[in-house]
Structure 1
Amino acid sequence: MHSSTDATVGVPLDGVPVRYSRDLFGHFVEHFHRQVYGGIYEPGSPLSDASGFRLDVVEAMRELRPSVVRWPGGCFVSSYHWLDGVGPDRRSHYDKAWRVSDPNTFGTAEFVAWCAAIGAAPYVCTNAGTGTAEEMSDWVEYCNLPEGGRWSDLRAQHGSPEPLAVPFWSIGNENYGAWEMGAKTPAEWAVLVREAAKMMRRVDESITLLTAARADLEWTLPLLEAAGPYVDMVSIHGYWDKLDQVDHPSDYRTAVGQSLGPQHDISRTVAILEAAGLGDRVTIAFDEWNLRGWHHPDGTSRRAIEARDRNDDNSTYTMADALFSASFLSSCLRAGDTVRMANIAPSVNTRGPLFVHPDGVVRRSTFHTLALFAGELGPLVLDATATSRTLDGTDVPVLDVLATVSEAGDEVQLVLVNRDPERTLECRVSLGGRLLEGDHPATLLTADGPDAYNDVDHPTSVVPRSVTTHFAEGGTALGPHSLTVVRVALPYAHPAGVVAVDAPAGSWTLSGGVWARRRTG
């Protein structure tokens, strides 16, 4: 190894790639603080359309290419009754989860219409706290049954004779937690999910059905033993910087030091699925995730409610958030055969990638990470190995790497993250067994310092830019606190010969856009 090399990357081209789901680039919107009202939905604003949707938010969301959006919660849903949010005559209700009044002017029809506006599929999370299995199945009927039912007829009376065609449904949200309205024991939960799933499927067999779970054997194994035949995915959540009661966001090193947490949760959940004998059928949805948890101190006082404004302090969202998010998504894509959905929580305001204010939007650092992953990667994940030192004071490697390939096999995309806040990383990369050479186009996301952030007055402190990345004998320099997506055209000329997606006899190769076993001899 060259003396100046701090890290190595190896990307063989003779393995079987994993086709991941675009639903890993999913989103989540909850009725919490200014996510819906004053976020995506603001009737009367000069920036809104006739439906009340903020057009600048719609435009920004389209940049993120979301495949699916989860709604209405979150904790909110465990005391939410969907009938309050449909039809012309709506009344407000007191939201027992977040302890405020909700006007119910944004309900099922508005959510489905907003998803259509941003180009995403709707994903409805049902009330398994204070609700019932019948109420959940009635909501499926209202949305998806063509005709002939009490609730589908009501939908037609509300102006939608054709089904709303909601493809994704979840039974409950965090019902394992004492903080949730209608929390359940593992045994109670297993029975409720089984019965709710049966009823929902009797209304619409085509839905993709999820249920609240966790990376915990005692909770999830009984659930799978009872309801496994009826569900398609288990839903797990993760926030690694705990801020609900005390708002002291972790510094860069502490935050980035949590980067292996998602990978550990995925591995534990996979092991539980295999223990239940469902590893080949039931998959995982990480349908709430973010580095930082939402700040919502206990209490109903005005001070406690106003404290939620702290979530919208844009100085919180630095390169730490951008790089943690890159690590999270890479962990999901590397496990893309099992992790089939992930939903950033939330999309707008609170801890979301978009900050919405009366005059416009701010694209926070995480926005650009999400846009790069959703917009610049190929649909197939290649095996990749990396070695590097660890980030000081942690067990987290300084280097994170992901490799994807285009459908046609004519380009490899390398996602290289240098987590070190201060030092450049000298990295040596080999592709298909040969050291990478030459100049390759890339997109670089970094900033003047690890604590840089975007806000209303400085919206471009953290933005991606197009660069050329030079490799000599495989070596290149990755700047501190940086995310680089390098695009390598295949085949490319190498001093030792042409490097292309190819493989020895008897292994896998890509030919004509199709991965297949090469014939021996």
Structure 2
Amino acid sequence: MSVHIEGDAGQVIGPVPRRLFGSFVEHMGRSVYTGLYEPGHSTSDERGFRGDVLELVRELGPTVVRYPGGNFVSGYRWEDGVGPDRPRRLDPSWHSVESNRFGLHEFVAWAEAAGIEVMYAVNLGTRGIQEATDVLEYCNHPGGTELSERRRANGADRPFGFKLWCLGNEMDGPWQIGHKTADEYGRLAAETARVMRMIDPGLELVVAGSSHADMPTFGEWERTVLRHTAGLVDHISLHAYYQELHGDTDSYLASGAALDAYIGTVAGIIDELGLDVGISVDEWNVWDLRRWNEVDQARLAEGGWREHPRIIEDDYTVTDAVVVGSLLSSLLRNVDRVTMANQAQLVNVIAPIRTEPGGPAWRQSTFHPFQRVAALAGGSSLRLSVEGPRLRTAQHGEVDLVDVAATVEDSGRGAVFLTNRATAAPTEVRLRLRGARFGVYAAETLTAPDGESRHAVNTAVSQPVRPVPLPGTAVTSDPGGTTITVTLPPLSWTVLQLSPEAGGHA
């Protein structure tokens, strides 16, 4: 099979925002405790931050991290996580006990150590306007008030200066503590945004959109909430999780096309209302929800109230990594509407990084596409067209057999990201880029390792799933542009790194 892809170096979708490569840390399961934070671990520093995890986070390259939730935030009292006296509390959202040993100051110090911007979420479930303005004053006001002086007394003389704020989380969901109708939430979000801007006019605010595209209120929720908050917020959130259902691999591999459609629908609603609002895909990933619903929740109920129980620690396969690669390509194809995105989550909980208490940290299969895209996708995203065989799926209709995104920087360096959705055979790709002469100085692919299936995973003792060099990439240049020919293995995710020099082979 062969696929032909056409593009022009001068035809761009838009600049690639660095916040597109965000992540998410929630007080849930082992995301924080024995994930980021484990006093006494052999690699931990005097603050209890695991050094092996910090090293992997820096390698992964997230640019912004959403914190502290998630469902957790809708019952969270931020004051519990500051100062010397930290109460233990029940966390109903994840049926666990929160010790509050790790709180706001610890997270700020961890984010600074990792070189990551903080995206802070406020509780609009059990609390509201006052709590939001209190935590804003505590975090961002220089001094001279009760709350800012309390921050200084707790060891942070300079304000944290958070710019990005989420107004609650998934308030359309009946599972959410403090679940509200669209009118109830929209009015609360608007009033909260209005007062927060009185305190700090330079904030960027994210209002909560639908929890997923199959919510019965999807669409009308966005219209109602955006009408209430028009002129007060900068972004609306979109949450998207994908999984393989009933062995339908083809539909699972088409998840990137489903995300394209989801983003397009939300963008259409924004345009319908005549608003200048970006889309924040601030929770996205692949997630085995069946296991959560059928296994993890039952285990939580049977185990009683415990600190940081093991929940949704999915073991990610080759197939999962290929789908994550296609979801990243979807984000790149939509940079004209998507202003930021956060893969959920960072460590242990449906995460690219896993740890064992007292033991090692390692890269899951999904670590690799995120790391490569975060490191290589810069400059502008190119507009491309695909011609060739299509894949017929039960859930998403027909989609391109090969999914593609490409970026080019002003320096002439660039990257092409290719997902081969064909599961049984390789696919030859001929990529024609007009208007520029490129070389290919590296080609890597992630596919099933020799002798292993598409279900291969990485573990604490063995990490066979990783990108490997892809030989045979041919490049020809002429005055009109560059033609790249590459053969993609079946069920694979491939990255080509472009150089500004004409011709050459990877």
TM-score by length of 2: 0.89
- After superposition, the C-alpha distances for 1:55-89 in whole angstroms (9 at most, x for unaligned) are 11000000111110001110001000101111111
- SS class of match (2:105): helix
Q: What is the CA–CA distance in structure 1 between the aligned matches of 2:166 and 2:95, rounded to whole Å?
A: 23
- Taking structure 1 as reference, are residues 17 and 179 closer, same or farther at Cα in structure 2, changes over 3 Å only? closer
Q: Retained in 2: the 8 A contact 1:421–1:450?
A: no
Aligned residue number for residue 447 of structure 2: 446
Establish whether residue 123 from structure 1 lines up as the match of residue 119 from structure 2: yes
Q: Retained in 1: the 8 A contact 2:438–2:501?
A: no
Aligned residue number for residue 386 of structure 2: 386
Q: Retained in 2: the 8 A contact 1:411–1:489?
A: yes
Q: Percent identity?
A: 35
- Taking structure 1 as reference, are residues 251 and 364 closer, same or farther at Cα in structure 2, changes over 3 Å only? farther
Letter in 2 for 1:335: N
- After superposition, the C-alpha distances for 1:450-499 in whole angstroms (9 at most, x for unaligned) are 2221111222x1112344442277533111122221123335159xxxxx
Q: What is the CA–CA distance in structure 1 between the aligned matches of 2:35 and 2:100, rounded to whole Å?
A: 15
Letter in 2 for 1:291: V
Say which is worse superposed, 266-275 or 418-427, in terms of deviation. Answer: 418-427
Aligned residue number for residue 480 of structure 2: none
Task: Give runs of aligned pairs for residues 253-272 of structure 1, distance below 5 A.
Answer: 253-272=250-269
Letter in 2 for 1:489: S
Aligned residue number for residue 479 of structure 2: none
Q: Shift of residue 378 of structure 1? A: 2.8
Task: Give runs of aligned pairs for residues 355-394 of structure 1, distance below 5 A.
Answer: 355-358=354-357, 359-391=359-391, 393-394=393-394
Task: Give runs of aligned pairs for residues 333-344 of structure 1, distance below 5 A.
Answer: 333-344=332-343
> Which of the numbers 473, 480, 484 marks the counterpart of 2:490?
480
Aligned residue number for residue 489 of structure 1: 499
Task: Give runs of aligned pairs for residues 448-463 of structure 1, distance below 5 A.
Answer: 448=449, 449-459=453-463, 461-463=464-466
- Taking structure 1 as reference, are residues 51 and 128 closer, same or farther at Cα in structure 2, changes over 3 Å only? same
Say which is worse superposed, 469-478 or 35-44, in terms of deviation. Answer: 469-478
Q: Retained in 1: the 8 A contact 2:439–2:501?
A: no
Aligned residue number for residue 221 of structure 1: 223
- After superposition, the C-alpha distances for 1:411-441 in whole angstroms (9 at most, x for unaligned) are 332111112222100112211079x998652
Q: What is the CA–CA distance in structure 1 between the aligned matches of 2:247 and 2:55, rounded to whole Å?
A: 31
Q: Shift of residue 208 of structure 1? A: 1.2
Aligned residue number for residue 505 of structure 1: none
- After superposition, the C-alpha distances for 1:123-161 in whole angstroms (9 at most, x for unaligned) are 111101001111011101100011122211111111112
Q: Shift of residue 446 of structure 1? A: 2.2
Aligned residue number for residue 93 of structure 2: 97
- After superposition, the C-alpha distances for 1:80-126 in whole angstroms (9 at most, x for unaligned) are 01011111111111111112110011111111111111110011111
Aligned residue number for residue 508 of structure 1: none
Q: Shift of residue 305 of structure 1? A: 7.8
Q: Retained in 2: the 8 A contact 1:6–1:426?
A: yes
Q: Retained in 2: the 8 A contact 1:298–1:304?
A: no
Q: What is the CA–CA distance in structure 2 between the aligned matches of 1:165 and 1:250, rounded to whole Å?
A: 47
Task: Give runs of aligned pairs for residues 258-407 of structure 1, distance below 5 A.
Answer: 258-278=255-275, 281-293=276-288, 295=292, 296-297=296-297, 301-303=301-303, 309=310, 311-314=312-315, 317-358=316-357, 359-391=359-391, 393-394=393-394, 395-407=398-410
Q: Retained in 2: the 8 A contact 1:283–1:338?
A: yes
Q: Shift of residue 308 of structure 1? A: 6.9
Aligned residue number for residue 57 of structure 2: 61
> Which of the numbers 413, 416, 423 marks the counterpart of 1:414?
416
Aligned residue number for residue 190 of structure 1: 186
Q: What is the CA–CA distance in structure 2 between the aligned matches of 1:437 and 1:186, rounded to whole Å?
A: 50
Aligned residue number for residue 29 of structure 2: 33
Task: Give runs of aligned pairs for residues 67-82 of structure 1, distance below 5 A.
Answer: 67-82=63-78
Say which is worse superposed, 213-222 or 341-350, in terms of deviation. Answer: 213-222
- SS class of match (1:463): coil
> Which of the numbers 139, 143, 153 marks the counterpart of 1:143?
139
- After superposition, the C-alpha distances for 1:7-48 in whole angstroms (9 at most, x for unaligned) are 111121232451121111000011111111111111122221
Count of residue pairs brought into register by the alignment:
478
> What residue ranges of structure 2 are gaps of 5+ in the alignment?
477-482
Q: Retained in 2: the 8 A contact 1:439–1:468?
A: no
Q: Shift of residue 188 of structure 1? A: 0.5
- SS class of match (2:467): strand
Q: Retained in 2: the 8 A contact 1:249–1:292?
A: no
Q: What is the CA–CA distance in structure 2 between the aligned matches of 1:199 and 1:34, rounded to whole Å?
A: 35
Q: Shift of residue 258 of structure 1? A: 2.7
Q: What is the CA–CA distance in structure 1 between the aligned matches of 2:414 and 2:255, rounded to whole Å?
A: 28
Aligned residue number for residue 197 of structure 2: 201
- Taking structure 1 as reference, are residues 198 and 458 closer, same or farther at Cα in structure 2, changes over 3 Å only? same
Q: Shift of residue 350 of structure 1? A: 2.1
- SS class of match (1:15): strand
Q: What is the CA–CA distance in structure 1 between the aligned matches of 2:238 and 2:486, rounded to whole Å?
A: 37
Q: What is the CA–CA distance in structure 1 between the aligned matches of 2:435 and 2:53, rounded to whole Å?
A: 45
Q: What is the CA–CA distance in structure 1 between the aligned matches of 2:54 and 2:22, rounded to whole Å?
A: 15
- After superposition, the C-alpha distances for 1:282-324 in whole angstroms (9 at most, x for unaligned) are 101100111115524268523588997463352xx11221111
Aligned residue number for residue 156 of structure 2: 160
Q: What is the CA–CA distance in structure 2 between the aligned matches of 1:195 and 1:122, rounded to whole Å?
A: 23
Q: What is the CA–CA distance in structure 1 between the aligned matches of 2:407 and 2:201, rounded to whole Å?
A: 34
Aligned residue number for residue 515 of structure 1: none
Establish whether residue 13 from structure 1 lines up as the match of residue 14 from structure 2: no
Q: Shift of residue 224 of structure 1? A: 1.2
Q: What is the CA–CA distance in structure 1 between the aligned matches of 2:163 and 2:356, rounded to whole Å?
A: 32
Letter in 1 for 2:427: L
Letter in 2 for 1:239: Y
Q: What is the CA–CA distance in structure 1 between the aligned matches of 2:381 and 2:163, rounded to whole Å?
A: 26
- SS class of match (2:374): helix
Q: What is the CA–CA distance in structure 2 between the aligned matches of 1:439 and 1:113, rounded to whole Å?
A: 40
Say which is worse superposed, 182-191 or 8-17, in terms of deviation. Answer: 8-17
Letter in 1 for 2:399: V
Aligned residue number for residue 502 of structure 1: none
- SS class of match (1:61): helix
